[in-house]
């Protein structure tokens, strides 16, 4: 009986070693999408009142965790019994991400005043309006996170698809946890850069001290970092979407092989995004006219 127990321990150790190796492989495969996820979510989590940044980020992180709790079992079931559905879901998700990226570009060039007013401040809105605007941004961020979470989980699942189901569950769950804790932990650090900077400045007793210099750098860097992340987040949306289209279509995958894949993916994401944006805008105009007519 004792020998059987030690054999069981050996088997568990072997499984955990395999899981560690497979987790490293899955992490490498999903590193790109995790980077995109970070850029997109940092951009989504910015623009709030300073005192509300962490509560809002916590709400988005909880939504992200719930997304993964929903996605994981469905992904395992679909992968086992109906794999074609995974591709359909990915493509539909890609269309949504492409639409979001194209809409940001369209808003920047044609509705810049509206884009500037998207920052939620107490100066322009009442407390009720601030909370309502926060809820809308949180909802939008969680929806976007859902699409990115699907992509992360499917890519991770693809690296362990030929392994036992237990290994699949452990490895993909580890990647899902890393994607949530790691990404939102870094986002929290980014959005609180200025607070850290102000604290360092207060701690400094000399004008030319190292602490004060670092504090000033952090305070001055935050707006630039947020602006950069807005641009990076938009590009990331289009790249992720374009990657979904290219990698799930043999024709697109082999089209123009001399063109770098990153350019091909960006162009495809942009093209599909503006097509979806045009369809949505036409639908909105038709709906508006019908409401006016009534």
**C-alpha–C-alpha distance, residues 184 and 65, integer Å:** 11
pLDDT at 257: 80
pLDDT of residue 271 exceeding 70, the answer is yes
Nearest to 149 by CA among 260, 66, 267, 264: 66
- Does residue 241 or residue 17 have the better pLDDT? 241
For 43, list phi and psi in degrees, rounded to 5: -65, -40
User: What DSSP line would sit under the chain, residue for residue?
Assistant: -HHHHHHHHHHHHHHHHHHHHHHHHHHHHHHHHHHHHHHHHHHHH-SS-GGGHHHHHHHHHHHHHHHHHHHHHHHHHHHHH-THHHHHHHHHHHHHHHHHHHHHHHHHHH-HHHHHTTS--TTTS-HHHHHHHHHHHHHHHHHHHHHHHHHHHHHHHHHSTTS-HHHHHHHHHHHHHHHHHHHHHHHHHHHTHHHHHHHHHHH--STT-HHHHHHHHHHHHHHHHHHHHHHHHHHHHHHHHHHHHHHT-HHHHHSSTTS-HHHHHHHHHHHHHHHHHHHHHHHHHHHHHHHHH-
Confidence of residue 16 (pLDDT cuts 50, 70, 90): very low
The whole-number pLDDT of residue 154 equals: 78
Does the residue 278 lie in any domain?
Answer: yes
At 30-69, the pLDDT tens digits run: 555 566 566 666 666 666 666 677 788 888 888 888 988 8
Domain extent, residue 143, equals 2-192+227-293
Instruction: Report if residue 264 sits inside a domain.
Output: yes
Q: How many domains does the chain have?
A: 1
Condensed to tens digits (0 to 9), the pLDDT of residues 209-268 reads: 777 888 888 878 877 877 777 787 788 778 878 888 887 787 887 787 888 888 898 999
Query: Is 289 a domain residue?
Result: yes
pLDDT digits (tens, 9 = 90+) for 70-116: 988 888 888 778 878 877 877 887 888 888 889 888 888 886 655 44
pLDDT by residue (tens digit) across 156-180?
776 676 677 777 788 888 888 887 8
- pLDDT category at 2 given cuts 50, 70, 90 is very low
The token pair at 137 is 């941004």
Q: Is residue 207 one of the residues assigned to a domain?
A: no
Taking phi first (over 0 means left), then psi (-120 to 50 degrees means alpha), and beta for anything else, what does residue 132 get? alpha
In a domain, 251, yes or no: yes
> What pLDDT shows up at residue 272?
92
Bigger pLDDT: 281 vs 12: 281
Query: 0.85 cut: is pTM over it?
Result: no
Residue 215, domain member (yes or no): no
Token pair in block for residue 30: 């999903």
Residue with more model confidence, 190 or 113: 190
Asked if residue 174 belongs to a domain, the reply is: yes
Q: Is 66 a domain residue?
A: yes
Confidence of residue 278 (pLDDT cuts 50, 70, 90): very high
As a whole-number percent, the residues of the chain with pLDDT over 90 amount to 5
How would residue 1 be classed by pLDDT, with cut points 50, 70 and 90?
very low
């Amino acid at each position: 009986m004792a020998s059987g127990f030690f054999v069981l321990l050996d088997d568990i150790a072997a499984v955990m070693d395999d899981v560690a190796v497979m987790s490293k492989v899955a992490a490498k495969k999903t590193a790109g999408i995790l980077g995109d996820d970070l850029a997109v979510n940092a951009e989504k989590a910015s623009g709030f009142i300073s005192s509300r940044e962490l509560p809002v980020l916590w709400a988005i992180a909880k939504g992200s965790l719930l997304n993964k709790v929903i996605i994981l079992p469905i992904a395992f079931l679909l992968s086992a019994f109906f794999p074609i559905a995974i591709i359909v879901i990915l493509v539909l998700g890609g269309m949504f991400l492409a639409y979001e990226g194209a809409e940001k570009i369209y808003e920047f060039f044609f509705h810049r005043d509206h884009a500037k007013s998207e920052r939620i401040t107490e100066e322009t809105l009442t407390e009720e309006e601030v909370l309502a605007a926060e809820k809308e941004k949180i909802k939008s961020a969680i929806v976007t996170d859902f699409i990115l979470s699907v992509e992360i989980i499917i890519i991770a699942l693809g690296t362990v698809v030929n392994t036992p189901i237990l290994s699949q569950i452990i490895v993909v769950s580890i990647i899902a946890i890393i994607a949530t804790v790691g990404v939102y932990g870094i986002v929290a650090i980014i959005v609180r850069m200025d607070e850290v900077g102000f604290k360092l400045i207060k701690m400094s007793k000399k004008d030319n001290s190292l602490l004060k210099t670092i504090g000033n750098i952090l305070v001055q860097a935050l707006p630039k970092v947020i602006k950069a992340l807005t641009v990076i987040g938009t590009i990331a949306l289009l790249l992720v979407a374009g990657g979904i289209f290219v990698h799930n279509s043999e024709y697109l995958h082999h089209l123009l092989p001399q063109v770098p894949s990153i350019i091909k993916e960006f162009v495809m994401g942009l093209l599909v995004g503006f097509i979806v944006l045009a369809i949505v805008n036409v639908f909105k105009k038709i709906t508006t006219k019908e409401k006016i007519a009534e």
